[in-house]
């Protein structure tokens, strides 16, 4: 999800999930800061088994797209699919609207009504960019040690992708498609893979104990995908058979395809996804999370959540299957972990947003991409603008960054204002402690902003990435 600005209905992109309008008098843009300015909020939401979005037409008309994602789920009317409200303060308008809508719908909650994970107040380290899928116990300890010795001890750790037992079923494939098969790998077991059972540590429990006792980490999260892994679960696995997995093939809506072609989704369309029977999904999550909790893990980062919007066929539609998975996930988190320890990721589809009754933390943008210099400004602009909506339902997660990077200070300053967690994904020994010590106190805690970082009113309708002039620094005392 990224922001877009424009004039007139024709400028509204396909798959728009929130539209904020400003009435400007003949005095021009400056009038937007005056008391007489008016704003209108148009929110396409969920209506029964259907999901709405907005789009402009070449005739400069605003259209509502209403879909279930299942050809067997149809209707002739849309009664409660779009919420419209207006006011003279855009931030107050959003807050009051989300609160009102949450009471009307009853399928999600405002952030003020949710339990906030305590780990957000501690500095963290994520293993992803440091190791990618090659993550291992020795590397984890090395990374924690190097940060601790530099005076910024991580108290929160995410062990990202690379710890699970997965299988690549795709043996025969053209070399041109080999890169895509990584997203078709499937989960074969709920326990850790061989890298975490060896000479360095006996098992995951042994590693977590060492991480906490030796390195002072207070909270350990493990990564997993909503369907187990990118390609879902392995039907041939003895462990997975009890969850009745079924190989299905995603079907993208025209709105999805109009926005972006994604290598992961292209892979899943070609090779399929092993989806757990929705009637077994709570059992699946509970088995996995109870095991992780039993070995000392404190929470999970659950990725690839938006894939369900493409898997509604045969399951009662995208809204129905998303809600069933979301409810099961939240119930399992409450059953197995303390303080609502969950980070939702790739969950910007409105099916997920408006089904989040308890989930309190969600990624607010695309991944931080350290090797893409032109995407750094877009990343920060996206999370800030996205936080207008997401910040009323979640604590927005602005993702990890690198302390030793051309844009480290830029990203560091943004995280300080984000209202979310502050964590890096530095390689062991590759740090800029002058940046980190501006964000992290000696005990490993952070001074987290009280509210989600958002654009100021006078730049709500500008494009700070492309206009070549937007530059603003706000200091809150």
Please indicate, yes or no, whether residues 70 and 203 belong to a single structural domain of this protein: no
Number of domains present in the structure of the chain: 2
Q: Exposure string (b/e) for 253-267, b if CB count within 10 Å is 16 or more?
A: bebbeebeeeebbeb
CA angle 170, 227, 136 (to 5 degrees): 75
Asked if residue 468 belongs to a domain, the reply is: no
Asked if residue 211 belongs to a domain, the reply is: yes
Asked if residue 57 belongs to a domain, the reply is: yes
Task: CATH number of the domain at 233, please.
Answer: 3.20.20.70
Distance CA 169, CA 148 (A): 41
Please indicate, yes or no, whether residues 365 and 379 belong to a single structural domain of this protein: yes
Supply φ then ψ for residue 376, to 5 degrees.
-65, -45
Stated as kind and residue range, the H or E segment containing 323 is: helix 318-336
**Do 188 and 240 touch, CB atoms closer than 8 A?**
yes
Q: Per residue of the chain (477 residues), what is the pLDDT tens digit?
A: 888 899 999 999 999 999 999 987 665 555 444 556 899 999 999 999 999 999 999 999 999 999 999 999 999 999 999 999 999 999 999 999 999 999 999 999 999 999 999 999 999 999 999 999 999 999 999 999 999 999 999 999 999 999 999 999 876 666 666 667 778 899 999 999 999 998 789 999 999 999 999 999 999 999 999 999 999 999 999 999 999 999 999 999 888 887 777 788 888 999 999 999 999 999 999 999 999 999 999 999 999 999 999 999 999 999 999 999 999 999 999 999 999 999 999 999 999 999 999 999 999 988 988 888 888 988 999 999 999 999 999 999 999 999 999 999 999 999 999 999 999 999 999 999 999 999 999 999 999 999 999 999 988 998 887 766 655 444 443
The confidence score (pLDDT) of residue 476 equals 42
**Do 167 and 147 touch, CB atoms closer than 8 A?**
no
Please indicate, yes or no, whether residues 319 and 356 belong to a single structural domain of this protein: yes
> What is the DSSP secondary-structure string of 337-394?
SSTT-EEE-S--SHHHHTT-SS--EEE-SSPP-TT-GGGHHHHHHHHHHHHHHHTTTS
Please indicate, yes or no, whether residues 50 and 129 belong to a single structural domain of this protein: no
> What phi-psi label fits residue 144: left (phi over 0), alpha (psi between -120 and 50 degrees) or beta?
alpha
CA 453 → CA 22, 42, 212, 419, 431, distances in Å? 21, 22, 31, 6, 25
**Do 138 and 119 touch, CB atoms closer than 8 A?**
no
CA 358 → CA 36, 106, 114, 297, 345, distances in Å? 37, 12, 6, 20, 15
Please indicate, yes or no, whether residues 173 and 54 belong to a single structural domain of this protein: no
Using alpha carbons, select from 157, 163, 223 the residue that is nearest to residue 421: 157
Query: Which structural domain range is residue 106 located in?
Result: 9-111
The three-class DSSP label of residue 425 is: coil
Please indicate, yes or no, whether residues 191 and 245 belong to a single structural domain of this protein: yes
The confidence score (pLDDT) of residue 474 equals 44
The three-class DSSP label of residue 212 is: helix
The residue whose two tokens read 């931030």 is: 91
Please indicate, yes or no, whether residues 126 and 78 belong to a single structural domain of this protein: no
Stated as kind and residue range, the H or E segment containing 85 is: strand 82-87
The three-class DSSP label of residue 106 is: coil
The confidence score (pLDDT) of residue 470 equals 59
CA 309 → CA 73, 265, 305, 331, 346, distances in Å? 14, 11, 9, 21, 11
Asked if residue 2 belongs to a domain, the reply is: no
Please indicate, yes or no, whether residues 164 and 216 belong to a single structural domain of this protein: yes
Burial of 339 (0-12, 13-18, 19+ CB in 10 A): middle
Asked if residue 187 belongs to a domain, the reply is: yes
Distance CA 101, CA 85 (A): 10
* Residues facing 20 on adjacent strands: 41
Please indicate, yes or no, whether residues 148 and 97 belong to a single structural domain of this protein: no
Please indicate, yes or no, whether residues 212 and 227 belong to a single structural domain of this protein: yes
pTM: 0.93
């Amino acid at each position: 999800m990224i922001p877009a600005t424009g004039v007139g209905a024709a400028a509204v992109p396909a798959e728009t999930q929130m539209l904020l309008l400003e009435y400007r008098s003949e005095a021009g843009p400056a009038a937007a800061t005056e008391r007489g300015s008016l704003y209108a909020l148009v929110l396409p939401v969920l209506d029964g088994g259907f999901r709405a979005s907005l789009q402009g037409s070449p005739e400069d008309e605003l259209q509502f797209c209403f879909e279930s994602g299942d050809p067997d789920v149809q209707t002739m009317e849309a009664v409660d699919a779009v919420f419209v409200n207006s006011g003279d303060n855009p931030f107050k308008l959003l807050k009051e609207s989300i609160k009102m809508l949450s009471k009307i719908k009853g399928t999600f909650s405002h952030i003020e009504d949710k339990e906030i994970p305590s780990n957000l107040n501690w500095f963290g380290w994520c293993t992803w960019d440091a190791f990618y899928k090659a993550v291992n116990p020795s590397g984890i300890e090395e990374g924690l040690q190097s940060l601790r010795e530099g005076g910024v001890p991580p108290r929160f750790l995410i062990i990202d992708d690379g710890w699970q037992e997965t299988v690549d079923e795709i043996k025969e494939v053209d070399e041109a498609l080999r890169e895509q098969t990584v997203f078709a790998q499937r989960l074969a077991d709920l326990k850790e893979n061989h890298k975490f059972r060896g000479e360095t540590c006996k098992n995951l429990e042994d590693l977590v104990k060492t991480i906490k006792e030796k390195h002072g980490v207070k909270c350990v999260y493990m990564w997993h995908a909503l369907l187990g892994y990118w390609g879902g679960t392995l039907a041939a696995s003895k462990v997975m058979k009890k969850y009745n997995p079924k190989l299905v093939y995603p079907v993208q809506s025209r709105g999805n395809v109009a926005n972006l072609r994604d290598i992961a989704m292209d892979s899943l369309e070609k090779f399929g996804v092993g989806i757990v029977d929705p009637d077994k999904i709570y059992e699946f999550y509970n088995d996995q999370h109870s095991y992780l909790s039993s070995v000392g893990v404190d929470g999970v980062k659950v990725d690839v959540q938006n894939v369900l919007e493409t898997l509604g066929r045969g399951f009662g539609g995208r809204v129905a299957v998303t809600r069933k998975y979301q409810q099961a996930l939240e119930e399992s988190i409450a059953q197995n972990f303390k303080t609502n320890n969950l980070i939702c990721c790739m969950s910007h589809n409105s099916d997920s947003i408006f089904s989040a009754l308890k989930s309190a933390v969600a990624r607010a943008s695309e991944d931080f991409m350290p090797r893409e210099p032109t995407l750094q400004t877009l990343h920060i602009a996206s999370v800030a603008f996205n936080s207008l909506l997401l910040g009323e339902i979640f604590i927005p997660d602005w993702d990890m960054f690198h302390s030793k990077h051309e844009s480290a200070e830029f990203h560091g300053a943004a995280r300080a204002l984000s209202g979310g967690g502050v964590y890096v994904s530095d390689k062991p020994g590759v740090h800029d402690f002058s940046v980190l010590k501006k964000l992290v106190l000696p005990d490993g805690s952070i001074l987290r902003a009280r509210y989600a970082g958002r654009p100021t009113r006078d730049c709500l309708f500008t494009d700070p990435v492309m206009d070549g002039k937007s530059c603003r620094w706000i200091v809150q005392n």
